[in-house]
C-alpha cells in the first residue's frame, strides 16, 4: 500500500480546483465500507482529490483501528484537512450511513433492497446521482502456483466451497484434501462470491480460513499447495488465477478486457454511494474527481479496471456466428457493454455514465458518422426469433441515446441468445447476457 501511495505522490500536480470549505473541527469527510476499496484505492483517490483541490503535504497515516487510515493535507493558509477511511466491509458502510457516522459508503457490491429501505430517509440511493460505479473488479479464483488445474466452472466452485468436493483428485488434479480460504462475513468480496457462486446454487460456505485482509488471504493460498481462495483482482499477487466457465460461456481468465466489459463470469462493480440528502461538498468533490479521467487513471494505477473507453481487437473464432466474425475482422470493439435495469429496457446507472464516455471517445476519434455498429445480445427464449428481436430492440434503445448526442449509426445487429457470457438459469446470469456491444470501424 505504501508503494502505491509513494507512486501517487510522484504524479504531476493537478490543476487546482475551486477551494472547498474547511470544517472548524473534525474530519472534512468520513468514508466507511469495503476493504477492497478502502485498503488502497479509496485513500489513493482521496489523495488525488486533495491534491486537485490544491492541498499541500498530502499524506496518509494509520487510523485508530486496523484497516483504518487518515489522509491529511494543508491548505495554503496552513489549515489542516483530514479525511477518514475505514475499511471493514461493504455492509459496515451502509450501517454507518444509517447512524450518520459516515458521509460516503464504499461498497464492492450493489446496495441490498433491505439497505435501500433502511436508508430511505437519506433519499433514493439507487438514483443515478447516488449510486456511482467507480471501477470494475474481477473476483479471481486463486490456487497455489504449483497446482496443475487451469480451468474451473461455477458449478465446481460451488461444490468446492460448499465442501461437496473436498479433494483435488475429484477435480482431476493432485494434492489430497482441498483447503478453503475466504474473506470474512463483512466483506463485499465475500458477498459477491456468495451471490455469484454459492447462493444461486443454494450452497452455504463450508468451514474455511477467513480473512479481513485481502493481501493476507492471497499470500496464505500462495504458501499452501492444497489451497484455493477468491480475491479481488489487484490482490492475486504470487498466486495463480484460473479460467472460469459459467453455463455455456467460453473459459475466461480474469483479463482486463473481459472484466472491463463485465463478460468475465466473476466480474463486479465497485461503488461509492452518496446520499441525495448529503450537504458535504467534499463527498461530492470526491465522487466527481473519481469519475474524471484523472480519477480513473488512479483506479488503473491501483490494479482495478478503469472505465475509460478503449478500442480492442477481437480475434474471430469458429464458435462465433459468421456475421459476428465479419464484424471482428473489420472493426474494433469498445471496452464497454451497455446493460439495463432489471426487467427494463432502460439503461442502468453505469450505462448512463458510460454513454457520455463513449460519445467523448467517438468525438475525439472522428467516429460520429456511420462508423459505429451496435450488437445486441439477450437471454435464451423458447422462440429464437423472439430472442433475436429483443436483442436488436435493446441495441435500438442504445441507438436512441447515441443519436441524441449526434452519432449516426452504421448498423444495428441482434444475435439473440448466442454467445452467452453467463448461465441463463438465474436472473443474474440473464441480466448479464442482456447486453449491447459497441464496435467502431
User: What is the per-residue pLDDT across 209-227, written as a single tens digit (0 to 9) for each?
Assistant: 999 999 999 999 999 999 9
Q: Are 240 and 142 in contact (CB under 8 A)?
A: yes
For residue 18, what pLDDT band results from cuts at 50, 70 and 90? low
* pLDDT of 4 above 50: no
User: What is the per-residue pLDDT across 127-170, written as a single tens digit (0 to 9) for each?
Assistant: 999 999 999 998 999 999 999 999 999 999 999 999 999 999 99
Q: Are 88 and 188 in contact (CB under 8 A)?
A: no
Fold of 138-260: D-Maltodextrin-Binding Protein; domain 2 (3.40.190)
**Do the two domains 2-130+274-301 and 309-440 of this chain adopt the same fold?**
no
- As a whole number, mean pLDDT of residues 309-320 equals 94
* pLDDT of 425 above 90: no
Give residues with Cβ within 8 angstroms of 281, minimum separation 6. 20, 21
Centre a 10 Å sphere on the Cβ of residue 315 and count the other Cβ atoms it contains: 8
Which pLDDT score, from 0 to 100, does residue 74 have? 97
* pLDDT of 341 above 50: yes
Give me the phi and psi of 187, to 5 degrees please.
-80, 135
How far, CA to CA in Å, does 196 sit from each of 53, 153, 176, 423, 440? 39, 12, 27, 11, 32
Query: Percent of the chain at pLDDT above 90?
Result: 79
CA dihedral 91, 255, 140, 415 (to 10 degrees): 70
Say how far apart CA 90 and CA 110 lie, in whole Å. 9
Helix (H, G, I), strand (E, B) or coil at 412: strand
How far, CA to CA in Å, does 283 sit from each of 95, 157, 273, 334? 17, 38, 10, 31
Record the cell numbers describing residue 319, joined without a space: 464458435
* pLDDT of 12 above 80: no
CATH number of 309-440: 3.30.1330.60
Taking the domains of the chain in order of start, what are their residue ranges?
Answer: 2-130+274-301, 138-260, 309-440
Which pLDDT score, from 0 to 100, does residue 379 have? 86
Q: Are 136 and 269 in contact (CB under 8 A)?
A: yes
CATH number of 2-130+274-301: 3.40.190.10
Helix (H, G, I), strand (E, B) or coil at 340: strand
Q: Count Cα atoms within 13 angstroms, Cβ side, for 384.
A: 3
Nearest residue to 290 via CA among 315, 273, 268, 312: 273
Mean pLDDT over the full length of the chain: 92
* DSSP output for 208-234: -EEES-HHHHHHHHHH-TTEEEEEEGG
pTM, 2 dp = 0.84
Record the cell numbers describing residue 68, joined without a space: 483504518
Q: What is the distance, to the nearest Å, from the Cα of residue 361 to the centroid of all Cα atoms in its chain?
A: 21
Give residues with Cβ within 8 angstroms of 378, minimum separation 6. 387, 388, 390, 391, 394, 414, 416, 417, 433, 434
Say how far apart CA 228 and CA 380 lie, in whole Å. 33
Most confident of 11-15, 121-125, 340-344: 121-125
* pLDDT of 114 above 70: yes
Amino acid at each position: 500500500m505504501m508503494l502505491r501511495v509513494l507512486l501517487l505522490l510522484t504524479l504531476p500536480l493537478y490543476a487546482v480546483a475551486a477551494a472547498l470549505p474547511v470544517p472548524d473541527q473534525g474530519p472534512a469527510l468520513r468514508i466507511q465500507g469495503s476493504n477492497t476499496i478502502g485498503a488502497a484505492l479509496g485513500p489513493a483517490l482521496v489523495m488525488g482529490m486533495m491534491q486537485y483541490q490544491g492541498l499541500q503535504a498530502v499524506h496518509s497515516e494509520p487510523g485508530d483501528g486496523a484497516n483504518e487510515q487518515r489522509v491529511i493535507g494543508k491548505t495554503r493558509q496552513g489549515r489542516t484537512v483530514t479525511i477518514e477511511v475505514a475499511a471493514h466491509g461493504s455492509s459496515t458502510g451502509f450501517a454507518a450511513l444509517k447512524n450518520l457516522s459516515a458521509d460516503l459508503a464504499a461498497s464492492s457490491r450493489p446496495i441490498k433492497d433491505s439497505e435501500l429501505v433502511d436508508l430511505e430517509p437519506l433519499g433514493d440511493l439507487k438514483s443515478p446521482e447516488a449510486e456511482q460505479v467507480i471501477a470494475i473488479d474481477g473476483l479471481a479464483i486463486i490456487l497455489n502456483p504449483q497446482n496443475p488445474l487451469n480451468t474451473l466452472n461455477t458449478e465446481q466452485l460451488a461444490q468446492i466451497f460448499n465442501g461437496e468436493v473436498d479433494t483435488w483428485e475429484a477435480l482431476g488434479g493432485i494434492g489430497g484434501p482441498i483447503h478453503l480460504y475466504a474473506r470474512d462475513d463483512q466483506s463485499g468480496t465475500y458477498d459477491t462470491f456468495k451471490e455469484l457462486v454459492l447462493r444461486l446454487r443454494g450452497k452455504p460456505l463450508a468451514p474455511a480460513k477467513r480473512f479481513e485482509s485481502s493481501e493476507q488471504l492471497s499470500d496464505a493460498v500462495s504458501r499452501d499447495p492444497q489451497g484455493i481462495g477468491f480475491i479481488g483482482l489487484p490482490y492475486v499477487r504470487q498466486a495463480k488465477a484460473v479460467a472460469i466457465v459459467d453455463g455455456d460461456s467460453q473459459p475466461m481468465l480474469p483479463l482486463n478486457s473481459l472484466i472491463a466489459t463485465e463478460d468475465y463470469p466473476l466480474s463486479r462493480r465497485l461503488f461509492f454511494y452518496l446520499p441525495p440528502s448529503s450537504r458535504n461538498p467534499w463527498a461530492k468533490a470526491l465522487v466527481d474527481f473519481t469519475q474524471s479521467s484523472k480519477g480513473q487513471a488512479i483506479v488503473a494505477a491501483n490494479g482495478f479496471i478503469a472505465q475509460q473507453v478503449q478500442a480492442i481487437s477481437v480475434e474471430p473464432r469458429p464458435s462465433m456466428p459468421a456475421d459476428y466474425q465479419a464484424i471482428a475482422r473489420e472493426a474494433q470493439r469498445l471496452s464497454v457493454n451497455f446493460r439495463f435495469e432489471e426487467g427494463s429496457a432502460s439503461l442502468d446507472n453505469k450505462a448512463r455514465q458510460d454513454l457520455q464516455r463513449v460519445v467523448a471517445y467517438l468525438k475525439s476519434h472522428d467516429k460520429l458518422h456511420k462508423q459505429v455498429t451496435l450488437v445486441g445480445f439477450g437471454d435464451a427464449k423458447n422462440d429464437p426469433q423472439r430472442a433475436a428481436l429483443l436483442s436488436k430492440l435493446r441495441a435500438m434503445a442504445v441507438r436512441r441515446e447515441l443519436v441524441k448526442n449526434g452519432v449516426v449509426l452504421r448498423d444495428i445487429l441482434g444475435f439473440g441468445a448466442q454467445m452467452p457470457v453467463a448461465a441463463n438459469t438465474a436472473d443474474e446470469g440473464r441480466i448479464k447476457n442482456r447486453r449491447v456491444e459497441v464496435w467502431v470501424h
